[in-house]
Amino acid sequence: MGGNFTILAGQTRNRLGRLNNTEPATQSLTRDDSAVTWLRGGTSPEVWRTTFEHSADGVTWTNLGAGTRVTNGWQLTGVSVPPGGTIRARGFVTGGMANVCGWFVEELAGALAPIRLSVDRDGSGILLHWTGGQGPYQVQQVASLGSVASWEDVGVPVQTNSISFPVGMGTLFLRVRGQ
């Protein structure tokens, strides 16, 4: 690295220094019913603004909106993410002397198959099995669909696509949420 500096990474350096990448750049792009989240870390460059887009064919892109800064990344909430297709996150970077250089980094997330559930009797309980989506998966339950805001987690998130648990008397509604 060269430039008009005398200290680099806390060390005395006179206009010339060396930077070592000691960890990889990491990023993940996830979506759910109403939000898109782009987490970035490691040696990924810091972006100063983001945009989120959707494409059904990978050629024509529709703007979903600008991201808001969250811990370790960016997020767009309150958006109806169309099913299928691909989501693209783009982050804009500036750098160089007086920040006169600019470029962008991007991440793509393909369509996830919807989660499809099946329920079987398993002795005194039930076996819940699903396909689609992407883990980790969280099984949730609620006693009445009139209180959908009070879904409760059943156990901890799992990477598998099935779970067995005991059930008592009464009505119980179940759902599985993936990333």
Task: Specify the CATH number for 24-109; select among 2.60.40, 1.10.3470, 3.10.20, 1.20.120.
Answer: 2.60.40
- Does residue 113 have a pLDDT over 70? no
SS3 of 87-152: the string is EEEEEEEEECHHHCEEEEEEEEECCCCCCEEEEEEECCEEEEEEECCCCCEEEEEECCHHHHHHCE
> At 103, which helix (H) or strand (E)?
strand 101-109
% the chain with pLDDT above 70: 88
Q: pTM, whole model, 2 decimals? A: 0.53
The more confidently predicted of residues 64 and 160 is 64
Across the chain, how many H-helices and E-strands are there?
0, 16
User: At the top level of CATH, which class does the domain 116-177 belong to?
Assistant: mainly beta
Residue 30 identity (one-letter amino acid): T
- Does residue 149 have a pLDDT over 70? no
Tokens 């060396």, residue located: 18
Domain with CATH 2.60.40.10 in the chain: 116-177
CA distances from 60 to 45, 54, 56, 57, 63 (A): 27, 8, 7, 7, 10
Q: What helix, strand, coil percent values describe the chain, rounded to 5?
A: 5, 50, 45
Rounded mean pLDDT of 28-48?
A: 84
